[in-house]
Structure 1
């Protein structure tokens, strides 16, 4: 047992010694490695110190080189600055010399001016003395002339002025004649060509003014049914449509009367429906009027759209189209206003094409120029201004509604196309058969013509002839000479243009006759 224990102890000790040996060996090898690394670090340190030393030397060299270069640049800049300063000083010296010379010249000129002023003052005094002498001499001569001529200064002045006025009147008349002759040579040819081209492209039917519509009846019994018991049917028709229904002795016919063409058309259609149906009582009348109103409103819109289609105009507000269509049932001096508006649009566009203006603008403005006539029953004021405000409200451009506002001269023209619309309106209205006047309007126009003519001094009498197309003025031959007659004809024409509205043109003829009568005894 002891032997085993001893052997085990011996083995254990031997194992410990072996372990310690190997451990020491490992430690020694690690120490060797550490020493090697320390040596490497020392070598690296030495190399780094060498590098740093080398870098320091290079940095010092670069610094020295930079300092040298900087000093050289500064020196060069200094030299250049000195040169520039020297050149500037030389230039300043030159300018100072020039200024000094100029100042000397100015001083010399001032001295000369002062000398001239003194000389002029002396001359002025001499002139004043001479003027005084001349004035005195003039007064003496005027007194002497008055004594010799036995006329005062004022009387002589009036004689001279009268003479000058006569000469000027003669010269004015001559100039007017020459100017008119030149205008005649050119205006007739150009205007005839343009207008004939425009008129030849526009054609429309002749119309007759109407404020009544006639409804044909199948028999006389129908009149009593239209009147109804105690007149209830006829009163219902008139109340619903706003027209007068006239039942007289005319066989098998009823007359519908109204100045509003739309109402008249609605009443006519409603009556025709009632007559065709045969049942006439207030409820049926109301139903027929409603149907007729819808049909007429549809016809109005279609008439407006047809006018736009006929002229090739697009993009217009529906309210304007509807109002335009109402002109189908409106007449002016016997001329249908919608037909007239289409004709004006064609004429204005043709004139614009001939003159190189905006054709589309002239056409659109011409079509819409009288749209106010569809509104003036409900609104007070001129149809031209009412129409312009209406077009402006619904988005039309200024040049379009200016054509409506200015076509009767109530506003200024803003473009050439508005002037063409006015010309086209006059052409459409004045062509033969387009319009007819009532007797009272016609007589009033003739009276106004003669009244304007007789308002001039020297007029003995005046006569409107050829249905108001010409005014002949008889003047006193002793008061009005040939030159004054020429001027008078122009002034009368101008006054007629300012005061009257008329289709076409009015010829003004001034007649002056001198008679010398003697009897042989």
Structure 2
């Protein structure tokens, strides 16, 4: 019983201790919580104060910025208001001025209307007076107004006709006295202001070599090289005892130049054989064509002529290798062009158009094909084809009177052409006739079918005709040579005799791959 009470007391004591401990712990925790709450409240108050200060500072900053913006807008509005006031004052002033001017115009208009009324009254009075005087004059003279007017006009016409006739006669007499002298003066001045050299073409070119050993290489084995060169160029190559020289003979300057340049390249290269000869001749022929175009362009630049068609430029370049009665055609055309420009300037005409017509006047002498037309008409057709102006075309076609002259440039070109060709030593008709005869020989042979090339050599004493192996056979070449000889006898005039040599060459070409 006593143990149970003791245990019970112990249990009660322990329970009281536990309860007291719990109460104490709760008390301590409560104090701690209260202290933490008070600390948190103090910190929150501090933070609150800081935030309030920051908000106040931002508010003050925004307020100052807004005040600045408001001030700026206020100043701009003030300036705009000032400008509007100034503009309004200006408009008011203008309106006042306009109203004043309108009042002045009204006053002037009223004055003019009053004056017009006075003028109309006076005009009416003058018409009445005029009618009265007219009636009085008709009564005095016995003629009506229309009859008197016709009589007066007739008398004035007769008087004017007599005076004009006398004046025209005086002018004609004065022109007859001075025209011849003025024309001679213009021609002499034009010639004096232009001096060109006389260029006489020949039919021989001398090719210089370093030593006579090269002659044997040019001739080749059994003459195959020289025959190949003559066949490719159409030029007779004369290798004789003349030291360090080979003569190239032919009437066509272009062929002679091709032969000279080809021979020069072959001698420099050292490889001289028929295949190489044909290759070099073809290359040099292309080079000559390029040089022809370049010569035409340089001529245009030298003469200051622009806008010429490329084909006409090429034909102008071809003039360098043509001659007219022994006179170099390009030099003659340039001289004629300069003379035309000078004479046109003296006469008050267009010098550029006259120079253009003077340069192109003999363009019909150098076409690629040679139809049966006078060179003046052919040149006019070429100019029309390549869109030259009508004045230039007419001047080209009329410089030998084949067509009627329709412009003032045409007689200038005709006169300047005669001046250029009539100078002493400028032309030699023998050379021109000789070249024309050789061209006729070649053209006659080319008219036969199967003929590929024709070359007149040895001053026209031999005509070489090259035919295609596919179109003819060995049996027909003798017949062809006889027919050409017979036709030459019938149609052409020539001194001595002409040897016709027909060549039929057969080639077999294969390629090793």
Q: TM-score, normalized by length of structure 1?
A: 0.47
Alignment TM-score, normalising by the size of structure 2 = 0.48
